[in-house]
Amino acid sequence: MLKFVTFAVKTQLNVHDLNNEAGAGNVTDIRIMEFLDENGNRIEAPAVSGRMLKHWHYEGMRKLCHKQNLPLCDSCKIGEPVRPATLTTDNKLSHQEAIDEGTVEVIRKCCICDIHGFLAAIGTTSERRSSRAMFSWLMPAISIPSKQVIHSRVKSGKDFQEEALTSQMPFNKSYASGIYAFVSALDVDRVGLVELNIGTATPYAINDNDRKERIKVAIEAYRFMISGQIGASLSHAMPHGNPLEILVAYSESGPLPFPVSPIYSDYISKTVGLMPQNTSLLYWGNATPEGVTKKNTIDEIFKELLTKVG
Ligand SMILES: [Zn+2]
């Protein structure tokens, strides 16, 4: 059975606004990060944080869990970031009540708190679970500088009682384009695992079948991310996405190192050279690299992974 899987994704994203955290006044600017290119030159380019990527993996899982009726705590059900939580009789969320039930119950009751982990420190109680899914920042492999655009609200011609609302209120926003990459790892073997119970008869809080369902949802959520569902402003600036390369490494025997990032041109041969024996490497893209199994579609990669979950 599948124990660990890593993703290295390279995708073209044109005219996106995936991270507009750098806002001031009526200007919303995209976040710019400084980093070194392959020649050691310091460059600046738009980037999206790993927190944002993790959030969109969470959103993908949330949709799939709802569809398949898999358990979610009352926070994760509605996308509330303070989690876990339980809805109390007076219709309020209680973080304390959920935590007081202990880690095993939290895991049983919520796929996302199980897989994405949580950090709860409230009153005298503190519970912590490390995430089974890990994400890099989204970084440019090749970038074009971002461009600011002035938007204004489209007016119907009818007047508002509130005068302040009638002005056109132009505002500036930045959009960026480029070829981007991210890497991610999913520690499949630790889904449902309670670390304190390792060595006992029941190290997992949930049965095998429930574990498999959760693992499949966590894998499927990557499909949304590969399509460009990874950032802010999707309601009006869905990126023009075009996946270019995907390299998946998986193991049925144990944990794997992280793959070399596709922001580097020789990432495939380096990843092949880094992975231990008994690693399966699947590749989709235009190159014909050695040491990997080339797949014709992205779906074929997902199908193989899901088959290995069983
Ligand atoms: Zn939850």
Distance of CA 194 from the midpoint of ligand 1 (Å): 16
Residue ranges in the chain modelled with pLDDT below 70: 16-30, 142-158, 160, 163-175, 232
Distance of CA 79 from the midpoint of ligand 1 (Å): 9
Distance CA 46, CA 224 (A): 21
Distance of CA 78 from the midpoint of ligand 1 (Å): 10
Distance CA 30, CA 21 (A): 7
Distance of CA 225 from the midpoint of ligand 1 (Å): 20
Distance of CA 72 from the midpoint of ligand 1 (Å): 5
Distance of CA 86 from the midpoint of ligand 1 (Å): 9
Distance of CA 119 from the midpoint of ligand 1 (Å): 11
Distance of CA 85 from the midpoint of ligand 1 (Å): 7
The strand ranges marked E within the chain are 4-16, 22-24, 27-29, 32-36, 42-46, 86-87, 93-94, 118-122, 125-129, 133-135, 139-151, 171-186, 240-251, 279-284, 293-294
Distance of CA 161 from the midpoint of ligand 1 (Å): 43
Distance of CA 106 from the midpoint of ligand 1 (Å): 7
Smallest CA-to-CA distance from 30 within 13, 47, 55, 10 is with: 47
Distance of CA 222 from the midpoint of ligand 1 (Å): 19
Distance of CA 309 from the midpoint of ligand 1 (Å): 23
Distance of CA 82 from the midpoint of ligand 1 (Å): 9
Distance of CA 110 from the midpoint of ligand 1 (Å): 5
Distance of CA 23 from the midpoint of ligand 1 (Å): 30
Residue 151: predicted pLDDT: 62
pLDDT tens readout for residues 193-228? 999 999 999 999 999 999 999 999 999 999 999 988
φ, ψ of residue 238 in degrees (nearest 5): -55, 130
How far, CA to CA in Å, does 5 sit from each of 95, 229, 235, 255, 265?
A: 31, 20, 31, 8, 22
Distance of CA 111 from the midpoint of ligand 1 (Å): 7
Distance of CA 96 from the midpoint of ligand 1 (Å): 13
Distance of CA 163 from the midpoint of ligand 1 (Å): 43
Distance of CA 120 from the midpoint of ligand 1 (Å): 12
Distance CA 224, CA 220 (A): 8
- List the shell of residues around ion ligand 1, using CB closer than 5 Å: 73, 76, 83-84, 110, 112-113
Distance of CA 114 from the midpoint of ligand 1 (Å): 7
Distance CA 114, CA 84 (A): 10
- Which long-range contacts (C-beta less than 8 Å, at least 24 apart) are formed by 93-101? 95/120, 95/122, 96/122, 96/123, 96/125, 98/73, 98/74, 99/125, 99/127, 100/125
Residue 23: predicted pLDDT: 53
Distance of CA 229 from the midpoint of ligand 1 (Å): 21
Distance of CA 213 from the midpoint of ligand 1 (Å): 16
